[in-house]
A and B are shown apart, each in its own frame.
Chain A
């Protein structure tokens, strides 16, 4: 059981190091997905299956897909097709694939052995999480909502921009239309 943890931790460290050393953002993102997946494996081992699932659904799922889409969309241009072909070279995806295969094998092993309770842990189920969030820590949840609001309002202000006028003659032309 310990070895399962160490392998997952090793995968996490390796993939995170790969994230911060890649030059191409898409390559880095592939490794980031692996890093998040292995983190969720560690959560699972520690007896928090709900946190593990959230890690996969929210981080590896929603946010990473969003990231990858944005970065791919930003690269629109004539070179895009060529670039995407380059991204699909085995050299790029073989590393993440191996790491995720390791994680998958671990998961398979954990499901296959029936007596999983060698750690003396109590499992935190979704109900316990929900009860603690909406009973004692209700104010914390509300504060988190205010935090998100601060982020959204700030980003909306900084992100908004005036219509750019490239040249004053163009602007005049625009007015006559």
Chain B
């Protein structure tokens, strides 16, 4: 490996090194506060290192990794969301867990895994990144061992993720058997002359889609989502919803664009089916829910369906649409789960919809932040969610995907119902049932609220002036 290789790898090296460093800090018995602040600092360093490698792009580290505009962008999103999760974690874990420190080691490792996914162009790095991410998540989901829900969610995730990894590996093996390579570009080369796919390759691709579909929680592989979202600690849920899905989606997108999988009819039909089913079923299942975490889980299924609509054209437009929608989805989801985290108390998470009753009259700031993030999830104009959905529709219609675009619009209308229901509950009534308890850590409580307010301002600002980010995305190339 040359010096340039090391330079290009800086963000990943920093993340990996940070996890070891935090482990050493734990070994010398520093307090939770010191460890939280130092990991916050290390996340910020890793994030800023992304700006320094800009001038090197695009850079290939043969044969496993590729650093280009898109992958650095996705890495930025992932590290940023881990940073926000890290800020929110202190108040959440401080009062609930005796040993909250290993959490930060695992958070770094999961972030590393998601980032490796974002930069991989080879099945080996794909699989290793995915495994680092999921093995870390097993422990993070079951982190609060006293709670039965947590353990249950951890076991569910363990079984299903191991199962889906087996599918993914078998699919990779079949594709390797057919094409003789595990590198995306070599697979693409062996496919260029083909007009239709051989059954063996198609089976392999289908199995890979099953494996990846489990991780992305798209219908029909969505069964675990609601239970795991509900059972996991709220900051971890935010991480699963954003960083883990973003990384997996990025690598899937790169794979399909590189092998140009969109010209095969069968593959397109499968993808359209998954997208339509995710949009409709995700939104319909959310309507009946009384639990905010479950509502957000089902809404995330629907949002992945929307993302697939932008994914399918495989054009330049769809790279932009996917990138922008990922920004929108990350910011709004982080904000929504951030509110759930802040309102959680020692015994339970604030997941019952009734506990949000009359929140506005007690915590007007929190209620406003939550409302704006829900409106952005619903795709109301002047929020970033609207612009994201607009781009998805534009990308879909440009490619002539009328049916999926129509279903996207209809299911968004269904989605509006349950988002608005939460908002009306926050403004209804006079007396909040959340007790006005004294927060144990007023400093971190305030820092968390400030972080969420900044995110909210970004949601609105990007909803009004999206061109700032869009112009930046013009240069993304995936081939």
> In the bound complex, do residue A143 and residue B139 qualify as a contact, i.e. CB atoms below 8 Å apart?
no
How far apart are the CA atoms of A147 and B19 in the complex, in Å?
12
B96: CB under 8 A from chain A? no
> In the bound complex, do residue B109 and residue A136 qualify as a contact, i.e. CB atoms below 8 Å apart?
no
Binds B, one of A9-17, A53-61, A92-100, A150-158: A150-158
A144: CB under 8 A from chain B? yes
* B98 contact from A150, A154, A155, A162, Cβ within 8 A: A162
> In the bound complex, do residue B62 and residue A136 qualify as a contact, i.e. CB atoms below 8 Å apart?
yes
Per-position contact with A for B117-130: 1 when CB-CB < 8 Å, else 0? 00000001100110
B400: CB under 8 A from chain A? no
Residue of A nearest to B64 (CB): A139
Q: Which residues of B contact A146 (CB under 8 A)?
A: 16, 19, 109, 112-113, 132
> In the bound complex, do residue B102 and residue A157 qualify as a contact, i.e. CB atoms below 8 Å apart?
yes
Size of the B side of the interface (Cβ < 8 Å), in residues, is: 36
Name the prevailing secondary structure of the B interface residues. Answer: helix
How far apart are the CA atoms of A156 and B138 in the complex, in Å?
12
> In the bound complex, do residue A153 and residue B112 qualify as a contact, i.e. CB atoms below 8 Å apart?
no
Q: Which residues of B contact A162 (CB under 8 A)?
A: 98
> In the bound complex, do residue A150 and residue B109 qualify as a contact, i.e. CB atoms below 8 Å apart?
yes
What is the CB-to-nearest-CB distance from A154 to chain B, in angstroms, rounded to a whole number?
3
Per-position contact with A for B123-162: 1 when CB-CB < 8 Å, else 0? 0110011011001101110110100000000100000000
How far apart are the CA atoms of A157 and B15 in the complex, in Å?
21
How far apart are the CA atoms of A151 and B124 in the complex, in Å?
19
B112, B128, B154: which has the most chain A beta carbons within 10 Å? B128
B23: CB under 8 A from chain A? yes
A160: CB under 8 A from chain B? yes
Q: Which residues of B contact A156 (CB under 8 A)?
A: 102
**Contact status of A147 and B128, CB under 8 A, knowing A160-B99, A162-B98:** yes
A126: CB under 8 A from chain B? no
Q: Interface size class for chain A?
A: 20 to 34
> In the bound complex, do residue A154 and residue B139 qualify as a contact, i.e. CB atoms below 8 Å apart?
yes
Residue of B nearest to A138 (CB): B1
How far apart are the CA atoms of A4 and B110 in the complex, in Å?
44
Q: Which residues of A contact B154 (CB under 8 A)?
A: 158
Q: Which residues of A contact B145 (CB under 8 A)?
A: 158, 161
How far apart are the CA atoms of A156 and B102 in the complex, in Å?
9
What is the CB-to-nearest-CB distance from A7 to chain B, in angstroms, rounded to a whole number?
23
Q: Which residues of A contact B128 (CB under 8 A)?
A: 140, 143-144, 147
How far apart are the CA atoms of A156 and B105 in the complex, in Å?
12
**Contact status of A154 and B124, CB under 8 A, knowing A139-B65, A140-B64, A146-B16:** no
Q: Which residues of A contact B131 (CB under 8 A)?
A: 147
Residues of chain B whose beta carbon lies under 8 Å from any beta carbon of chain A:
1, 9, 16, 19-20, 23, 61-65, 98-99, 102, 105-106, 109-110, 112-113, 116, 124-125, 128-129, 131-132, 135-136, 138-140, 142-143, 145, 154
6 smallest beta-carbon distances between A and B, as pairs? A154-B139, A143-B128, A150-B109, A150-B136, A150-B135, A157-B102
A-B contact pairs, 29 of them (CB 8 A): A137-B64, A139-B61, A140-B128, A142-B16, A143-B125, A143-B128, A146-B19, A146-B113, A147-B128, A147-B131, A147-B132, A147-B135, A149-B19, A150-B135, A150-B136, A150-B139, A153-B106, A153-B109, A153-B139, A154-B136, A155-B139, A157-B102, A157-B106, A157-B139, A158-B145, A158-B154, A160-B99, A161-B145, A162-B98
